[in-house]
Amino acid sequence: MMTYGQLLAALAEKKDEAYRQFNERIVNIPAGTSVGVRTPDLRALGKALVREEEFDLDALLAFPDEVFEVRLLKCFAVGYKKMPFAEKCAYIDRCVPVIDGWAVCDLFCSTLKEIKNHREEFLPQLRGYVERGTEFSQRFAYILLLGCYMEEEYLPTIFSLVGQANTQYYYTHMGAAWLLAEVLVKFFDCGVQYLKESVLDKKTLNKAIQKARESYRLTETQKNLLKSLKK
């Protein structure tokens, strides 16, 4: 297993300075706190690391968190490392506190596709992230619901959990709105009924409607109905 210094050196070999400057603005992190490694290259490095015979996931998770790519690499490694699902759940839980921005959150969620095969098993843990009430524990839960639970049978769960959103937090608010917008696109009637009964704050309800109305998958009639529900 490489040391922290060796990992930083490996990242530096893949550095793209122009991308670093661009990406730091997009992901909203302080200037100079990333190396400038593009996501496909970082994913490739994560996959390569977990295949190494001497790879130690615990050692990787113990590395400092001040560099954006290291935080993201920890999440990728947890997603890519093959292990029993119960063990993976424990590692996921260790990574959630590492999440400090939308990019780490959403890219981590996109790496956890196997949750689709363990939905019921993971639901208590997912509910726990909502109940923590922090900005990124909740966003993590809502983006996972969007990516892994967007089925009609899980709509009651989605509505229950999104109703607990602490939407004074910007990224919680946006995650909840994105989740509801996708519900409106895929399950329009159920989504509309939820909006009519919802206790969500005005800004989140309106953002969900806005994002749904931007979708090409809804008809003009549906979009006009959503517009009438804005507060």
> What would the pLDDT profile of 103-117 be if each residue is shown by its tens digit?
999 999 999 999 999
Residue-wise pLDDT for 12-31, tens only, equals: 999 999 999 999 999 999 99
Residue closest to 185 by CA, chosen among 210, 148, 202, 161: 210
CB of 2 within 8 A of CB of 10? yes
CB of 153 within 8 A of CB of 190? no
Can you tell me the distance from the alpha carbon of 8 to that of 125, in angstroms, rounded to the nearest whole number? 32
Q: Which residues of the chain have pLDDT under 50?
A: none
Which pair of tokens denotes residue 56?
């130690």
Quick one: pLDDT at residue 198?
A: 83
Percent helix, strand and coil across the chain, each rounded to 5? 70, 0, 30
Report pTM: 0.95
CB of 20 within 8 A of CB of 35? yes
**How long, in residues, is the chain?**
231
User: How far is C-alpha 26 from the chain's CA centre?
Assistant: 16
